Structure 1
Amino acid sequence: MKLSDNPFLEDLFPTPRAPKGSFKREFETVKSTAAFRFSALGSKTKAAGVVNGRPEVVIRLGRPNVRSYSHLIKTADYIARHGDVEVEDQSGQIFTDKAEYRKILYQWKLASDMGEGEAKYGHARRIILSMPEGVDEEKFQKSCRMWAKDMLPGYDYLIAFHLKSNDKKTHQPHCHILLRTISKDGKRFHLDNQETAAFREHFASCLLKNGIEANATRRWSRGKTIKSVSQADYHVARNRVMTNEERARIYAMSKKRNLLNHQKERMQRIADAFEIGAEIEDPDGIVQAKKTRKKVIGLANGAAQQLLRSQNQADRELGKKLKIHYDNLSPVESAQQKMLRKMNEERAQQIRRLQAMRKRKRFERGAQR
């Protein structure tokens, strides 16, 4: 069955689209467009990745907030662990100590006309490519280099790999790319959401080419609805609205007070609902998430039905797995609703145990007579 014969699968796992350019789609050849020439994943490849549990690639695009030469040096020192981790540039030249890569930074300073004070626009930004623990380090590095070469042509950048083998602090392998945001022909680096999605797909394609299992799909496509705020996300969010001085002075106090007060309010709301046997009303985000889930289930069922009718055994097998996966998605609920549901389930289980115990005792008394 051709991919074009299954529009449900195409809608469930859409291709990133942007106004101009084109790209080659790996593993399946289909017509599509994006802002950069890159390799993307076909819808069947994405679907197989979801149902088989392939790890999702992670790309973090830092804000272009490196606005001074001193900030540029600090950022480079961080990704290089102050010279303990090797750094390489876009041509593959390796730098093993601070003095070597700082010469490159000075060239950037001259090329971008950086001053010591903060400029209006950023001169550089960080990009992080990451995969779960346990991937082959050599293949991971090769994939990251391939991605950078394809996605950042015409730009100067430095790459540093944080791996278990070279950094004691690292458990999950990741790659830091320090990018000078003005290209050699004077263009400023800019991405929109569609282009960011295209970057993810190309990274997954690079990993697959080098023998690392990977996938790049959107959360809603996989049936994911709730994303908890990690500690790292919290730090990033605060970094965006506070200066270093403010963060150093306020961070600890505000974290303890504001977050704890918010947690207390949430826990009290759960306790009140549990006591009176009530439900917690859906917040606006959950209302929208339920609408999205309904759409996703419809697309998944349509895609699975067409795959099951295929003459190709691999397609039929994918259809079976697709139906099983989406039939067993976790419910759409907020963190509070989930906690309340767990508490109600535990209480119901305790009641069943007590009822079974009483029934057993009555049976034992009757047998003794």
Structure 2
Amino acid sequence: MNKDHTDTLLLAWDQGFNQRQSRRVATRGPRPLPKQAAGNSASAHAIRQRLRGNVRRTPQAMVRISGGGRGMRHIRAHLDYISRNGLLAVEGPDGELYLGREEVRSLGDEWQHGGVPIADEANRREAVNIVLSMPEGTDAQALLRAVRDFARDEFSDHQYVMALHRYEDDPGRNPSRHPHVHLCVKKTAPDGSRLDPRKEDLRRWRGCFAERLRHHGIDATASSRIERFQAQKGLPQSVYHLRKRNRARGPQIWGAGPGAKAAAQLRQQAMLQRYAGVARILAGGEDGEDRQLGVGLVGMCERALAIAREREPRKQRAR
């Protein structure tokens, strides 16, 4: 099978995988997504990148919405937080820096009165707070450059600022060892359109962020927990910080019950079948790297099955 045929089959495989239904609770329509890279070849290349990342266990690009201010009072509090009360520089879209409490306060004034005004108190969120992070040991300056590019691509019509937090110079009480950037985006653009991120936006953001990280020399990928055979969800921030404060080592307060575990096993079986299908596609191609990737996917599935087998109760394994 030639490369074009393989690309077409890869795109069909990925489209079927990503057509997951989710309940919508918001009344406004989703924000239109930017145009994707033209051509089957570019899209198929992105799919191969993600599959290779899963096989190699490449670090995941993390993008998380941490909240958003309801009115300027909350937004100012967040600007104080990400700047550590003016001790860390906050950077704007054009590279302008705000350092010190007075400059951060003047930044708040620009946000409140520039473009679409923001009241001190509001009933709806007027900003989106996003955290973009990578594991410990990542080059923090390269991470910041990647976030600059990501923000310029995604939020060019909105006011936004960012602040880099790294363990070495974060004056906070409990600095994280994972370098990360806080990105605060004003929801309403000057033309009145509002940012309304949904789950599909977050998935796309992660992919775009991973691409920008790779461009700046950081090996990164963006795949779902299901693709990585990671059954356990991460702890919500509130639970994580509660455990950290109390150093709780008692019963699990956030986890999966028997029903959730059974559902996770069904999802794993479905993913194994999907990987079997894409491995056959790659194995039937004329490209040697594709065939090698197919072999790698088979090995990854075998490891996942072995781990799942080890976690089974002894009585169940003995059957």
Instruction: Identify the TM-score tier after normalising by the shorter chain.
Output: 0.7 to 0.9
**Distance across 2 between alignment mates of 1:178 and 1:56:** 22
| 1:184-203 correspondence to structure 2 within 5 Å | 184-203=190-209
**Distance across 1 between alignment mates of 2:58 and 2:139:** 15
**Distance across 1 between alignment mates of 2:20 and 2:37:** 12
Residue 22 (1) aligns with residue 35 (2): yes
> 1:97–1:263: structure 2 CA closer, same or farther, 3 Å change rule?
closer
> 1:167–1:79: structure 2 CA closer, same or farther, 3 Å change rule?
same
The Cα shift of 1:13 comes to: 6.0
Q: Percent identity?
A: 22
Unaligned 5+ residue runs, structure 2? 22-29
The Cα shift of 1:263 comes to: 4.6
**Distance across 2 between alignment mates of 1:11 and 1:331:** 28
Residue 94 (1) aligns with residue 64 (2): no
CA RMSD of aligned residues (A): 3.4
Tell me the residue number matched to 2:62: 58
CA contact 1:80–1:86 (8 Å) conserved in 2: yes
Please give the secondary structure, in 1, of the residue aligned with 2:304. Answer: coil
**Distance across 2 between alignment mates of 1:11 and 1:113:** 41
The Cα shift of 1:50 comes to: 0.5
CA contact 2:187–2:195 (8 Å) conserved in 1: yes
> 1:8–1:119: structure 2 CA closer, same or farther, 3 Å change rule?
closer
Of 282, 298, 302 in structure 2, the residue corresponding to residue 307 of structure 1 is 282
Could you list the per-position Cα deviations for residues 95-128 of structure 1 after superposition, in whole angstroms to 9, with x for gaps in the alignment?
1212112112112222444344x31112223111
Which deviates further from its counterpart, 2-11 or 173-182?
A: 2-11
> 1:180–1:113: structure 2 CA closer, same or farther, 3 Å change rule?
same
> 1:170–1:319: structure 2 CA closer, same or farther, 3 Å change rule?
same
Aligned partner letter, 2:284 = R
Tell me the residue number matched to 2:111: 108
Tell me the residue number matched to 2:161: 158
Aligned partner letter, 1:124 = A
CA contact 2:11–2:40 (8 Å) conserved in 1: no
Please give the secondary structure, in 2, of the residue aligned with 1:329. Answer: helix
Taking structure 1 as the reference length, what is the TM-score of the superposition?
Answer: 0.70
Residue 291 (1) aligns with residue 266 (2): yes
CA contact 2:63–2:206 (8 Å) conserved in 1: yes
Unaligned 5+ residue runs, structure 1? 32-40, 237-250, 267-280, 349-369
CA contact 1:160–1:175 (8 Å) conserved in 2: yes
Which deviates further from its counterpart, 281-290 or 197-206?
A: 281-290
Q: Which has the higher helix share?
A: 1
Aligned partner letter, 2:143 = F
The Cα shift of 1:149 comes to: 0.5
Residue 326 (1) aligns with residue 301 (2): yes
CA contact 1:290–1:332 (8 Å) conserved in 2: no
Larger Rg: 1
CA contact 1:9–1:44 (8 Å) conserved in 2: no
Aligned partner letter, 2:304 = L
CA contact 1:87–1:95 (8 Å) conserved in 2: yes
**Distance across 2 between alignment mates of 1:293 and 1:149:** 37
CA contact 2:8–2:40 (8 Å) conserved in 1: no
> 1:115–1:189: structure 2 CA closer, same or farther, 3 Å change rule?
same
CA contact 1:164–1:170 (8 Å) conserved in 2: yes
Please give the secondary structure, in 2, of the residue aligned with 1:179. Answer: strand
**Distance across 2 between alignment mates of 1:15 and 1:164:** 39
The Cα shift of 1:310 comes to: 2.4
Which deviates further from its counterpart, 163-172 or 309-318?
A: 163-172
